[in-house]
Amino acid sequence: MKIIQAEYSGPLNGKVHIPGSKNSSLALLAAACLADDIVTLEGIPRIDDVRIIAGISRDIGMELKQEGHQVVIDPRWIHSAVIDPGKASSFRASYYFAGALLSKIGRVTIGFPGGDDFVSRPIDQHIKVFQALGAQVHIHHDYYIVEAAELKGADIYFDTVTCGATINAMLAAVRAKGRTQLHNAAVDPEVVDTANFLNRLGARIYGAGTERIRIEGVSYLNGGMHTVIPDRLIAGAFLMAAGLQGGQVTVKDVIPEHLGACLAKLEEVGMHVECGESHITAYGTGKLKATRIRTGMYPGFATDLQQPMTSLLLHAKGKSIVTERIFPKRFAHVPQLRRLGAEIEQRQESIFIRGGLPLQGGWVHATDVRAGTCLLLAGIAAEGTTFVTGVEHIERGYEDVIGSFRAIGAKLYLRELDAQELPGRMHRQG
Ligand code: EPU
């Protein structure tokens, strides 16, 4: 079993290249199904979710080749829209294949989305979109079927702001007959990236990045080339690393505007941040102030950044409060941080952090990619040695987590252990 060993590393200093966005890549790879010719995507990270998509592509007759960070997709020979429930439920973004294949073929059979478990992650807004466009949705035990003789444009009002369902609505509507308008749409960079990609192929999507998106259906999409946006969530976590012990970290190849709320918070807790055109440098001053965070949809403070931010706030004297408004139960990292000596109390959708106490190394388990990042940050700032299990969850989001953290001086090592070598509690946790 893989574990990551983290040693106390002192101030972190250095530069790190930020890879392409995982979440955008997953949307773009499914969107590529919609094209009628060959598509090349640049900057796609080499992560497990992409490997699963490669498997799905083979099953449906779509050729997908990844060399380095370039993925070449030939969607001209798609012959099936039946997606194995096991593959679909091994990652969250499989729902994008429902929208894309419904749009292209008119019928898709697919398993329910899996991915990180935050207790409740409904897909009612995705279903609502398909139905609004004229599709029928049949729910079975471990899969669902979506079918339509013809998709017709519609006015769709989202009940809640959702990035996933906004992207899926664009995928489903792009080849529908007539005009679709999405109201209360998400404005995330991943939505804009997907719209830009589809427009490059000949789609007619207007207003992505605002709360109202208009899609004029087209009957044909060309092939083309697109570069995925950088991963703002990975970038944010590395900038936080600079604040742990008073270091200086530069993230390269980023879009600073995508990190506005994060950078404002880093300044608020006493860090200093400087932005260039495509890089950001964060300076830790060695003194952090406690703060209050409420997560929100973009451009608010991202839910995916509250876990690494919690590790930073453990070093800010006083009481910080983090309120999770997107996935109110997304606190699986908290009991793990307590194992390292953190004093954190959880009440409903908020945690109360008593910062400024020393952390002691120990055994912790990562349950999802962002919780894993949080534990790595905690481990490199804790006295002694921390062992992190659940490495497969971290690797779902990072192509080379060890290499990237080592580039800024973090003492992280990948180890292989037999299950018997784990302490009893970790063994049971898996
Ligand atoms: N929601 C609904 N109904 C739906 C869909 C969403 O009520 O049908 C709610 C959710 O429960 C949540 C809110 O809407 O309260 C926003 O959810 P969203 O649809 O935006 O999330 P998602 O598509 O499930 C994506 C990312 C997550 C990220 C959220 C934040 C992917 C594959 N996943 O999830 O990324 O936290 O957006 O908006 O793109 C991660 O990268 O670690 C990760 C979990």
Query: Are 198 and 65 part of one and the same domain?
Result: yes
The C-alpha atoms of residue 70 and residue 23 are separated, in whole angstroms, by: 16
Please report where in the chains the tokens 């949080």 appear, as a residue.
Answer: 374
Rounded to the nearest angstrom, the distance between the alpha carbon of 283 and the centre of ligand 1 is 31
What predicted TM-score, i.e. pTM, was given to this entire model? 0.96
Residues of the chain with pLDDT > 70, as a percent, come to 97
Query: Are 272 and 402 part of one and the same domain?
Result: yes
Residue 107, helix vs strand vs coil: strand
Query: Are 100 and 237 part of one and the same domain?
Result: no
DSSP string covering 319-331: EEEEE-SSSTT--
Query: Are 310 and 418 part of one and the same domain?
Result: yes
The mean per-residue pLDDT over the stretch 310-325 comes to 98
Query: Are 61 and 147 part of one and the same domain?
Result: yes
Confidence of residue 430 (pLDDT cuts 50, 70, 90): very low
Closest residue to atom 12 of ligand 1, CA basis: 326
Query: Are 415 and 316 part of one and the same domain?
Result: yes
Q: What is the pLDDT of residue 314?
A: 98
> Which residues, judged by CB distance below 6 Å to any ligand atom, belong to the binding site of ligand 1?
23, 26, 92-93, 116, 121-126, 160, 162-165, 186, 233, 297, 303-304, 326-327, 369-370
Query: Are 260 and 214 part of one and the same domain?
Result: no
Residue ending a domain, among 227, 256, 284, is 227
Active-site residue (options: 36, 59, 74, 116): 116
Q: What is the pLDDT of residue 336?
A: 98
Rounded to the nearest angstrom, the distance between the alpha carbon of 423 and the centre of ligand 1 is 34
Q: What one-character DSSP code corresponds to residue 75?
A: G
The mean per-residue pLDDT over the stretch 319-329 comes to 96
- 181, containing H or E segment: strand 179-183
The C-alpha atoms of residue 250 and residue 307 are separated, in whole angstroms, by: 20
Testing ligand 1's pocket by substitution, the residue of 121, 126, 171 carrying the most ligand atoms inside 8 A of its CB is 121
* Total structural domains within the chain: 2
Beta strands in 61-174 (DSSP E): 63-67, 70-74, 107-111, 136-139, 143-147, 155-157
Rounded to the nearest angstrom, the distance between the alpha carbon of 277 and the centre of ligand 1 is 29
Query: Are 336 and 385 part of one and the same domain?
Result: yes
For the CA of 186, the closest atom of ligand 1 is: 20
User: For 361-375, b where at least 16 C-beta lie within 10 A, e where not — what string?
Assistant: bbbbbbbbbbbbbbb
The mean per-residue pLDDT over the stretch 10-29 comes to 97
Residue ending a domain, among 227, 255, 290, is 227
Query: Are 168 and 202 part of one and the same domain?
Result: yes
The C-alpha atoms of residue 358 and residue 421 are separated, in whole angstroms, by: 27
Give the mean pLDDT of the chain: 95
Residue 317's CATH number: 3.65.10.10
The C-alpha atoms of residue 306 and residue 371 are separated, in whole angstroms, by: 9
Look up the domain containing 344 and give its range: 2-19+230-429
Cα 57–Cα 62–Cα 64 angle in degrees, nearest 5: 70
Confidence of residue 120 (pLDDT cuts 50, 70, 90): low
Q: Is residue 426 scored above 70 in pLDDT? A: no
pLDDT in tens, 52-64: 998 899 899 999 9
Query: Are 142 and 85 part of one and the same domain?
Result: yes
Query: Are 163 and 287 part of one and the same domain?
Result: no
Testing ligand 1's pocket by substitution, the residue of 163, 194, 231 carrying the most ligand atoms inside 8 A of its CB is 163
For the CA of 26, the closest atom of ligand 1 is: 32
Rounded to the nearest angstrom, the distance between the alpha carbon of 164 and the centre of ligand 1 is 6
Q: Is residue 113 scored above 70 in pLDDT? A: yes
Rounded to the nearest angstrom, the distance between the alpha carbon of 357 and the centre of ligand 1 is 33
The C-alpha atoms of residue 283 and residue 243 are separated, in whole angstroms, by: 7
**74 given a catalytic annotation:** no
Query: Are 200 and 245 part of one and the same domain?
Result: no
Q: What is the pLDDT of residue 256?
A: 98
Task: Give 3-state DSSP helix, strand, coil % of the chain, rounded to 5.
Answer: 35, 30, 35
For the CA of 116, the closest atom of ligand 1 is: 44
Residue ending a domain, among 227, 261, 290, is 227
